[in-house]
């Protein structure tokens, strides 16, 4: 199998907070600030019928797994009447190992606030962004991406950012498999947990 990989330093799929006219796109330094250019790139890739298209990104210091599409509902590509486009690829964002993440910046990582907001945001962000399958902004770590003839596999790990040791513990946060020739995020986390 041949895989086409787009490595970009910022999230390329839209990231919306809110609903309808109350939506904001807070990551204007990324591709949400360049919607026409993103649309042209997406249309060119989709029109070229590229198989096995994977985008890898970072910069938001979060875990994200989602779909690349020609169009997305919401003002980012033309208004609420725009239908959810057919996926043509997947996107994986790796988190930060030690940098400040969204939850830490908002002081949401500790105590009751952390226990409440982690599952809430992990549920809410995909509801606001149907093209995002997984989101976590409360943990630190790294991810690996493996390509084989049968598929692509993304495994995201969580680490304690205060532990400075080569023997530090790690935990599998989430794992996805993308079968060769398909645009499908199959969650396979249990296969990677001991």
**Residue 79: per-residue pLDDT:** 46
Measuring CA to CA, how many Å separate 158 from each of 41, 101, 166, 168, 187? 32, 13, 14, 11, 17
- Residue-wise pLDDT for 164-193, tens only, equals 888 889 999 999 999 999 999 999 999 998
CA distance 48 to 88: 10
Mean pLDDT within 34-62: 91
Segment holding 178, helix H or strand E = strand 170-179
CA distance 32 to 16: 9
Residue 53 CB partners (closer than 8 Å, separation 6+): 4, 6, 45, 68, 88, 89, 90, 183
The answer, yes or no, to whether residue 117 has pLDDT greater than 90, is: no
Least Cα distance to 40 among 61, 64, 71, 74 occurs for 71
HSE of 56 in the Cβ direction (CA atoms, 13 Å)? 18
- Residue-wise pLDDT for 67-82, tens only, equals 999 887 665 544 444 4
């Amino acid at each position: 199998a041949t895989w086409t990989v787009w490595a970009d330093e910022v999230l390329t799929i839209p990231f919306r907070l809110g609903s309808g006219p109350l939506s904001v796109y807070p990551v204007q330094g990324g591709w949400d600030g360049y919607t026409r250019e993103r649309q042209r790139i997406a249309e060119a890739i989709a029109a070229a019928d590229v198989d096995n298209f994977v985008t890898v990104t970072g910069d938001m210091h979060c875990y994200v797994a989602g779909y690349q599409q020609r169009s997305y509902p919401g003002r980012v590509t033309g208004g609420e009447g725009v239908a959810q486009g057919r996926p043509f690829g997947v996107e994986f964002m790796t988190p930060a190992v030690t940098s400040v993440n969204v939850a830490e910046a908002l002081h949401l990582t500790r105590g009751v606030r952390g226990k409440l907001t982690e599952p809430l945001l992990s549920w809410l962000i995909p509801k606001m962004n149907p093209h995002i399958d997984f989101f976590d902004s409360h943990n630190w770590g790294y991810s690996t991406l493996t390509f084989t003839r049968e598929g692509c596999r993304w495994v995201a790990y969580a680490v304690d950012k205060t532990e400075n040791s080569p023997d530090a513990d790690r935990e599998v946060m989430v794992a996805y498999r993308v079968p060769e020739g398909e645009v499908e995020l199959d969650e396979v986390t249990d296969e990677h947990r001991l």
